[in-house]
Amino acid sequence: MKTTLSTLHKMKQDGQKIAMLTCYDASFASLLSDAGVDVLLIGDSLGNVIQGKSNTLAVTMEQMIYHTECVARGAKDALVLADMSFASFQLSPQQAFENAARLMAAGAEMVKLEGGMVMAETIDFLVQRGIPVCEHIGFQPQSVNAYGGYKVQGKSATEAEVLKRDALALQAAGAAMILMEMVPAHVAKTVTESLAIPTIGIGAGPDCDGQVLVLHDMLGVYPGKKARFVRNFMHGANSIQSAVESYVKAVKSGAFPADEHCY
């Protein structure tokens, strides 16, 4: 059965975990869909794992559109979610709409933007024009230089309150889903419980409504530094298919992430 936005919202209501992985091509899209992955994220992480760059900032809209087209061709039942690249949406709601529309035309069924409450007007503008939005809060890779590196967000009581405030404002603006990255588990739990829309965690603890990993991290093939929240599911697996199935099973059962993957 095709996964839709309504499916994801019902999964939250029913307490069923959502399994998401990044994906960049048609072959993996087909395999991941067959293995039971609910959402395929065409992440601007392709800058790291496909292009070999140190961050995501140089990824272009043209590259995001190309990879979205590839994934959409193989996605089968999985929902297709595409990142908006750096500087493709921050200028104005109109700029964001023009670029989001290009991703939707390429096969995306939802787009993902980074940013907190400052993006509320843009989210409302997109949603009012038929474009579902997933908002990315906590650590935001496109802001890595502003953070001074890859750092956990929401550690202090003040930061945690800002994170929750942002999440509620984004939901009110019409965001259909919230992704939280590198956030203390207890903070992500509080945010998740405060929202009616699903939350997806990456380094945000087990109490989010779903989990996402970068495909190349999950398969243990990315040569770069491994983040604390990464688990190599190829260990003990006899094929990529079985590794992905193990990931899906671990997410659905709540076995992943474990304590060692959390902040």
Active site amino acids: 181
Give the span between the Cα atoms of 53 and 124, in whole angstroms.
Answer: 33
Spatial CB neighbours of 104, under 8 Å, sequence gap ≥ 6: 111, 131
Distance, in Å, from the CA atom of 136 to the CA atom of 89, rounded to the nearest integer, reads 13
DSSP label at residue 17:
P
Strand partners, 180: 137, 201
Task: Kindly list the distances between the CA atom of residue 147 and the CA atoms of 47, 136, 217, 243, in Å, as whole numbers in the listed order.
Answer: 19, 15, 23, 33
E strands present in 119-208: 133-138, 177-181, 199-202
Structure tokens given for 258: 């474990």
Are the C-beta atoms of residues 237 and 126 closer than 8 Å to each other? no
Tokens of 146: 């502003």
Confirm if 215 and 23 have CB atoms less than 8 A apart. Answer: yes
Helix 93-105 × helix 61-74 angle, to 10°: 40
Q: What is the DSSP letter of 80?
A: E
Hey, which bits of 144-213 come out as E strands? 177-181, 199-202, 210-213
